[in-house]
Amino acid sequence: MRLERLTVNKIKIFLTSDDLMERGLSKDDIWKDSIKWHQLFHDMLEEASVEFDVEIQGSVAVEIFSLQAQGMIMIITVDENIEDEEEEVLFDGFVEMQVRVEGCENLLYQFESIENIIDLSHTLTLLKVNGGSLYSYNNRYYLLMNNIDSSIVEKIAAFLSEYGNPSILSTHLLAEYGNQIIENNAVETIRKYFK
C-alpha cells in the first residue's frame, strides 16, 4: 500500500492486487460491502491520518478506480461540510460506507526508456489506439492514456504492462514537476517519427 498526499484534504492510496490478497480481500469484496473491506478501509484511514498528520473526522468522499490486474487507487477527500451528492463515509464511532467504484478511463504507466514507448506505440496500432501524453520525470518516461473507451481499457492496460509498469504518481504531480514532451497525441506522433 502506498500513500500520497495530493492536497491539504485529499489523499491518494494505491493498493496492489497483492496488497488486497495479503489482507484476504478481492475486488469483489468492495461490491459486497464486506466487513473485511470496512476494516481495511478503517486501517487505511488510520495510517493516512498518522502519516500525514491529518485529523480524519466528519465526512470523507471516496472515489475508487480499478486498474484491472494492477490493483486499485482510492482518492479520499476529507471535508467536514461535504454537500455533494456523491456517496460518502460518515464517522460516528463506526463506519457507514458506500463507495463509488469506477473503471479507470485514465492509465498512467512508467517506462525505463524511450525505446519501450516507441515499441508500444507501434503495438497499439493493432487496437487503432491514438492519443496519450508523454512526460519525463526523475529519469523515467510516463505515458498518460486518458479518456479511454471502457470497452478496450483492459486490452490497452495489457499492452502497456508489456512495455512498462503502472505508475502510482498522481497526474497532478506529474503535470507540476514533470516535463511534458508531447501533449494529447503522443502515440501517433511517436509512430510518425520513429518508424
**Whole-number pLDDT of residue 151:** 73
Confidence of residue 174 (pLDDT cuts 50, 70, 90): confident
Higher per-residue pLDDT: 16 or 175: 175
> Residue 97 pLDDT > 60, yes or no?
no
What's the pLDDT score for residue 85? 35
Percentage of residues in the chain having pLDDT higher than 70: 75
pLDDT tens digits along 162-173: 888 887 777 878
Q: Give the pLDDT band (50/70/90) at residue 57.
A: low
Among 36-40, 95-99, 188-192, which is the least confidently predicted range? 95-99
**DSSP codes, the chain:** -EEEEEETTEEEEEEEHHHHHHTT--HHHHHHT-HHHHHHHHHHHHHHHHHHT----SEEEEEEEE-GGGEEEEEEEEETT---SS-EEEESSSEEE--EEEE-S-EEEEES-HHHHHHHHHHGGGGT----EEEEETTEEEEEE-S--TTTHHHHHHHHHHHSEE--S-HHHHHHHSEEEE-S-HHHHHHHH--
**For all residues of the chain together, what is the average pLDDT?**
75
For the stretch 101-151, pLDDT in tens is 344 567 888 999 999 999 999 998 888 888 999 999 999 999 998 877 777
Residue 28: its pLDDT value, please?
A: 64
More confident position, 62 or 140: 140
Domains assigned to the chain: 2-103 (no CATH), 107-193 (3.30.70.1950)
> What is the per-residue pLDDT for 158?
78
* pLDDT per position as a tens digit, 2-12: 887 777 777 88
In this prediction, residue 143 carries a pLDDT of 94
Per residue in 76-96, pLDDT (tens digit) is 777 654 343 333 333 333 333
Q: What is the pTM of this model?
A: 0.52
